[in-house]
């Protein structure tokens, strides 16, 4: 329609002579204008509607963009909310597991508490029973100690009586020693006194310092570090000790099969060996000692020539045959 109108106007422009005048005054154009006026109004209306639609379109486009932005923000918020929900679910699961563990621990603690309570009750009961038992045992031990103390007091009294008898016998022995003049007999008595002291019989003997013996001991201490071990027995002090202290202890009766000199020589050359006696020997000697226990100390010293020392060993002298110490005499 627009092309047709323009063609008509062009044709009218060519033939119309009212160019330059107002169209309302032109009869030809006025009729044409009246003919196309509804169309022009419709065109204007359509243009107006087009502009309105474009404005609406732009407005709708803006709203769509705003809505898209809003949707994007809402989606991001939804994602954040989902992540928060997942985190909360995970925390809830962890909390539930911890709660379960705590419940289990509380149950175990409760069981342990009950167990400890029962054990404490049993322990208290055992302690009371043990205390009662200990009191009973203590009473029994006190009674035993009291009886043992009484027995010891009686034994001490008997020992004191025995010691008094020994002291009297020693006094008589001292008198015999003072009256004796033979040096070998004095050494023999001295050895017997040493044996008494060794076995626990304490005799209150009056002693005096021996100046010569002290001087000899000093000389021995000075020469001992300079003398070889093999020649140590040749010193004056060692000879005196051998003669007065050692040889009397090695005399087994008046006529022994083995002299003390041979034993000393064997000790010096390291050929003397001593070992424990075989089984049965101790019982024989103990029976012999029981038989001899009825004799007094003075009778044992005067009538029994056997050495009153330890008989529980054997001695080997320069050969393969062992000799019983108790059978040397």
pLDDT value of position 99: 92
Highest-confidence segment of 2-6, 261-265, 306-310, 316-320: 261-265
DSSP symbols for 101-144: HHHHHHHHHHHHHHHHHHHHHHHHHHHHHHHHHHHHHHHHHHHH
pLDDT value of position 323: 54
- d(Cα 242, Cα 244) in Å, to the nearest integer? 6
Residue with tokens 């017997």, as numbered in its chain: 192
Helix, coil or strand: residue 71:
helix
Cα-flanking dihedrals φ and ψ of residue 89, to 5°?
A: -65, -45
Least confident span in 27-31, 61-65, 99-103, 323-327: 323-327
What is the residue extent of each domain of the chain? 2-84, 181-250, 256-329
pLDDT value at 59 more than 50? yes
Helix, coil or strand: residue 32:
helix
Q: How far is CA 90 from the centre of its chain?
A: 46
pLDDT tens track for 276-303: 666 776 677 667 655 555 555 555 555 5
In the sheet with 272-276, reading across from the earlier edge strand, the strands are 272-276, 313-317, 322-324
pLDDT value of position 313: 47
pLDDT value of position 9: 45
Query: 208 versus 314: which is more confidently predicted?
Result: 208
pLDDT value at 318 more than 60? no
- Percent of the chain clearing pLDDT 90 (strictly above): 20
Asked if residues 303 and 266 have their Cβ atoms less than 8 Å apart, the reply is no
Cα-flanking dihedrals φ and ψ of residue 97, to 5°?
A: -65, -40
DSSP letter for 278, please.
P
Mean of all residue pLDDT scores within the chain: 73
pLDDT value of position 311: 42
Confidence bin at 3 (pLDDT 50/70/90): very low
pLDDT value of position 253: 62
pLDDT value at 65 more than 70? yes
DSSP symbols for 218-253: HHHHHHHTTS-GGGGGGSHHHHHHIIIIIGGGG--S
Asked if residues 173 and 204 have their Cβ atoms less than 8 Å apart, the reply is no
pLDDT value of position 106: 92
pLDDT value of position 183: 45
pLDDT value at 111 more than 50? yes
pLDDT tens track for 173-188: 777 666 654 444 455 5
Return the axis-axis angle of helices 2-15 and 27-179, rounded to nearest 10°: 140
pLDDT value of position 223: 84
- d(Cα 137, Cα 140) in Å, to the nearest integer? 5
Asked if residues 250 and 263 have their Cβ atoms less than 8 Å apart, the reply is yes
Across the range 65-77, mean pLDDT stands at: 92
Query: 22 versus 91: which is more confidently predicted?
Result: 91
pLDDT tens track for 243-253: 887 777 776 66
Asked if residues 305 and 253 have their Cβ atoms less than 8 Å apart, the reply is yes
pLDDT value at 231 more than 90? no
Confidence bin at 196 (pLDDT 50/70/90): low
Give, in degrees to the nearest 5, the angle at Cα 164 between 158 and 170: 135
Helix, coil or strand: residue 17:
coil
pLDDT value at 64 more than 60? yes
Confidence bin at 235 (pLDDT 50/70/90): confident
pLDDT value at 204 more than 70? no
- d(Cα 246, Cα 238) in Å, to the nearest integer? 10
pLDDT value of position 292: 55
Asked if residues 170 and 203 have their Cβ atoms less than 8 Å apart, the reply is yes
Q: Tell me which residue of 249, 241, 242, 261 sits closest to 325, measured CA to CA.
A: 249
């Amino acid at each position: 329609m627009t092309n047709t109108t323009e063609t008509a106007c062009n044709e009218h422009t060519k033939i119309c002579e009212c160019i330059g005048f107002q169209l309302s005054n032109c009869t030809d154009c006025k009729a044409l204008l009246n003919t196309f006026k509804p169309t022009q109004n419709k065109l204007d209306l359509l243009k107006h509607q087009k502009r309105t639609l474009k404005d609406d379109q732009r407005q709708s486009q803006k709203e769509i963009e705003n809505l898209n932005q809003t949707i994007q923000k809402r989606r991001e918020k939804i994602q954040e909310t989902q992540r928060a929900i997942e985190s909360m679910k995970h925390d809830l699961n962890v909390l539930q597991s911890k709660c379960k563990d705590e419940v289990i621990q509380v149950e175990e603690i409760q069981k342990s508490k009950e167990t400890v309570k029962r054990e404490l009750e049993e322990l208290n009961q055992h302690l009371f029973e043990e205390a009662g038992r200990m009191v009973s045992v203590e009473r029994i031990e006190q009674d035993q100690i009291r009886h043992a103390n009484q027995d010891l007091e009686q034994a001490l009294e008997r020992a004191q009586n025995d010691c008094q008898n020994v002291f009297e016998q020693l006094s008589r022995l001292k008198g015999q020693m003072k009256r004796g003049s033979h040096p070998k007999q004095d050494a023999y008595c001295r050895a017997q006194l040493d044996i008494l002291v060794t076995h626990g019989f304490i005799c209150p003997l009056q002693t005096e310092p021996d100046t010569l013996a002290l001087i000899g001991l000093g000389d021995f201490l000075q020469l001992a570090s300079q003398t070889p071990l093999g020649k140590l027995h040749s010193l004056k002090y060692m000879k005196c000790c051998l003669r007065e202290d050692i040889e009397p202890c090695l005399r087994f009766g008046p006529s022994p099969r083995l002299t003390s000199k041979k034993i000393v020589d064997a000790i010096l050359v390291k050929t003397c060996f001593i070992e424990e006696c075989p089984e049965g020997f101790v019982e024989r000697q103990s029976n012999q000692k029981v038989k001899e226990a009825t004799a007094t100390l003075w009778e044992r010293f005067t009538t029994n020539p056997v050495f009153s020392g330890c008989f529980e060993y054997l001695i080997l002298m320069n050969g393969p045959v062992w000799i019983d110490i108790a059978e040397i005499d």
